[in-house]
Structure 1
Amino acid sequence: MAQESAAQYEPVAEIGGGAYGTVYKARDRDSGQFVALKSVRVQTNQDGLPLSTVREVALLKRLEQFDHPNIVRYRTHTDTHTLSHTDTRIHTHRHAHTDRQTRDGLPLATVREDLMQQLLCGLAFLHSNRVLHRDLKPENILVTSRGQVKLADFGLARIYSCHMALTPVVVTLWYRSPEVLLQTTYATPLDIWSTGCIFAEMFRRKPLFCGDSEVDQLSKIFAVIGLPAEDEWPTDVTLSRQNFSPQAPQPITDCLPEISEKGAGLLLDMLTFDPLKRISALNALEHPFFTE
């Protein structure tokens, strides 16, 4: 693909930001097409690009050959401080169509057919290629003007290997899985937990677990799913199960009265404490929730 200059794109609106840069909705001055343009912050005393940016470009170029409909596509630039994701006519970055809905959340059919099925398709594709996203949150899910869901922002993504040295610096706190919060080993199920949190947020219009520290986040999780049994608690962590009060699981419908029975079942399969028992993206796509 031919290289292009970042000047070719006209920023229209800011749609997200973080430690490594800011993402804008931008218009291609030549074609009129809208793209997601990521402006990467580079310190003046830093040689080259941040590792997260190099990793993101490498992964997207690796996945580009598959041209999956639910993964953003990378477009090269002569300006190395910017990334653009093409074929991404952004409608909104946080919960598709929320600007057209009530404050009570999205309709069940919209969540099921328009969002979750596509999100899981993209995630199943990543996991089948041994890619962990590691930073799934509403801001990293783009929706095109044609209603196509695109997973974006692969700055923390990694190729999964059972021998890799994993780091706890993954996933915004509110979407972190218990194994990440406890700083034990993790794999693809961590993305499923984050997806479950996003699933619930589509109905609530606010995060399901809003902790202000790792311990507080775990406490808020256990207040809903209950304190795990002693034999489920990881043995290689410093935080003891005794630090938490015994709690029984609460009906998920108390938090999400609008969700269907089968939707609640899928959500609980995603928000399972033990990652080995957590549903996979492929199996989630076969869940009765999508055929009810």
Structure 2
Amino acid sequence: MNQNDPIVFLKTKDFKFIKEIGQGGTGRTILMKDEAIDEIFVCKKYSPYNEDDKGLYYDYFKDEIKILYKTNHANIVRVFNYYLYPEETTGFIIMEYIDGKQIDKYLNENPDHLEDIFLQTIEGFKHLEEKEILHRDIRPNNILITESGIVKIIDFGFGKQVDANTVNKSITLNWRFSIPKDFEEEIYNHKTDIYFIGKLFEEIISQIGNVNFKYSHILKKMIAINYNKRINSFFDIYRDMLNDQSIDIQFTIGEKNIYQNFANDFIKIFTTIEDNLTYETSLDKIIRNLEELNKNSMLENIIQDNAKLTRIFLIGKYSYFKTKEIKVTYVSAFLDLLKKSTEDKRKIILNNLWIRFDSIQRFKDDDLPF
């Protein structure tokens, strides 16, 4: 076989039809079983109600496939395969089967899970934000909760991959909630998704009634009608929530010393950070990369290449001192602290490091001469 030769799988896979799930605006959905591995899947076929709309929304269907393939998160529906038939303007997506309830129905039955479901939803949309994906169709039936209480964001039929911060509101949906002022300027970006998630939870809290919602101050910043007064990103919401959680979590003096030794050594190497630089949020990735750095530094007293350490935590442009010393023992102890800590503690440790990064002088890319 030569490079670029097509790879053809001759054997087809058969599925057993179980039942029809429903017909949406752009597709028919069924439940089916792969008997070879004894697993159930959802299959969505592109078939709009109106035959005349087939060509109109076909690109949205292909975009949904691209979007789902870019995501890998516990709170977002998984896609396993797809089949496109452009000559017939149709196709199929094979996805994870979610045996769950709509978010509003679930929380009305389980109001004590409200704060956890809110956090999971924010984490899911934070992941979409990191992948520069807009959902654009936020309503209760597009956020499901499994029997074990896991949030699953579904239906990316109107989703959009964006390269910039702001996109034109190219489609108008039958919004369940009152629209923000963003629409007057034909703006739809992540701050607009934030608004509709906020309105969704506002409605659910109203339905539950008499509930003390820990994050009500954050919700208020999410549903500001005025675009400029609304909280900027799902990442900012996530950090606000971590700040609230940190009040209830205690660290020992030893743990604080380990964090401070590492943070003090690390932060002192930076001079400036680009204004739109982002932070690495995957703790698994951070730990994995720290382990690699630590393994390669175990015979040294100081980190030999500061750039390798900075790239573990920062995504973007920044300037730093290459010769400033960072002790290997501090990096090793910090890694052990992360590995031994609970998930909640890890998030708070990382957020405190982000607070250190926030204090570093910022520059805009256009401030540079070339």
TM-score (normalizing by structure 2): 0.53
Q: Which residue of 1 aligns with 2:70?
A: 62
Are the equivalent residues in 2 in contact too, given 1:24–1:37 (CA < 8 A)?
yes
8 A Cα contact 1:141 1:152, kept in partner: yes
- Give the alignment partner of residue 284 of structure 1, picking from 237, 242, 245: 237
What residue number does 2:112 align with? 109
Q: 1 or 2, which has the higher helix percentage?
A: 2
Name 2:313's counterpart in structure 1.
Answer: none
- Equivalent in the alignment of 2:152: 150
Structure 1 residues without counterparts, runs of 5 or longer: 99-104, 206-255
| Structure 1 counterpart SS, 2:188 | coil
> How far apart in 1 are the matches of 2:98 and 2:176?
27
> Letter of the aligned partner of 2:27 in structure 1?
G
Percent identical: 19
The one-letter code of the counterpart of 1:122 is G
- Gapped regions of structure 2 (runs ≥ 5): 1-8, 86-90, 249-370
Q: 2:61 maps to what in 1?
A: 53
In structure 2, the partner of 1:40 is 46
**How many angstroms does 1:75 deviate by?**
2.0
Measured in 2, the distance between the counterparts of 1:112 and 1:120 equals 11
Contact 2:115 2:213 in 1 (8 A): no
Residue type matched to 2:19 in 1? Answer: V
1:14-66: per-residue Cα shift (whole Å, max 9, x none)? 2x543211344544444343433323215389569711101101111223xxx
8 Å Cα contact 2:14/2:34 also seen in 1: no
Q: Superposition RMSD on alpha carbons, in Å?
A: 3.4
Match for 2:26: what amino acid? Y
Q: Is the 8 A contact 1:38 1:83 kept in 2?
A: yes
- Which amino acid is 2:79 matched to? Y
The alignment covers a number of residue pairs equal to 229
Aligned-partner SS, 1:117: helix
C-alpha contact (below 8 Å) 2:99/2:147 kept by paired residues? yes
Match of 2:15 among 8, 13, 38: 8
1:197-276 paired onto structure 2 within 5 Å: 197-205=199-207, 257-260=209-212, 262-276=214-228
CA deviation after TM superposition for structure 1 residue 286, in Å: 3.5
Deviation at 1:78, TM superposition (A): 4.2
Which residue number corresponds to residue 74 of structure 1?
79
Q: Which has the higher contact order (CA 8 A, sep 6+)?
A: 1
Deviation per CA, 1:67-120, whole angstroms, max 9, x where unpaired? 21111121224475321222x43222453636xxxxxx244431111x211111
- Equivalent position of 1:210 in the other structure: none
CA positional deviation for 1:192? 0.7
Q: Distance in 1 between matches of 2:77 and 2:101?
A: 15
In the superposition, relative to structure 1, how do residues 126 and 199 fare at CA in structure 2: closer, same or farther (>3 Å)?
same
Q: How many angstroms apart in 2 are the aligned matches of 1:132 and 1:199?
A: 18
| Match in the other structure for 1:31 | 37
Q: 1:187 to 1:286 in 2, by over 3 A?
A: same
Q: Please name the residue that 1:136 is paired with.
A: 138
CA deviation vs aligned residue, 1:249-275 (integer Å, no higher than 9, x gap): xxxxxxx74232544322211111122
Taking the aligned partners of 1:122 and 1:45, their CA distance within structure 2 comes to 31
Name the larger-Rg structure.
Answer: 2
Give 3-state SS (helix, strand or coil) of 2:217's partner: helix
Matched with 1:85 is: 95
Query: Can you list the C-alpha shifts for 1:183-227, whole angstroms capped at 9, x where unaligned?
Result: 53231111111111221233345xxxxxxxxxxxxxxxxxxxxxx
Q: Which amino acid aligns with 1:75?
A: F
Structure 2 partner of 1:194: 196
Supply the distance in 2 between the matched residues of 1:61 and 1:95 (Cα, whole angstroms): 27
Quick one: distance in 2 between partners of 1:83 and 1:139?
A: 19
CA 28–269 in structure 1, closer or farther in 2 if over 3 Å, else same = farther
For 1:131, the aligned partner's letter is I
Distance of 2:221 and 2:10 partners within structure 1: 44
Distance 1:62 1:288 in 2: 26
Deviation of 1:164 (Å): 6.9
Give the 3 Å change call, closer, same or farther, for CA 194–5 of structure 1 in structure 2.
Answer: farther
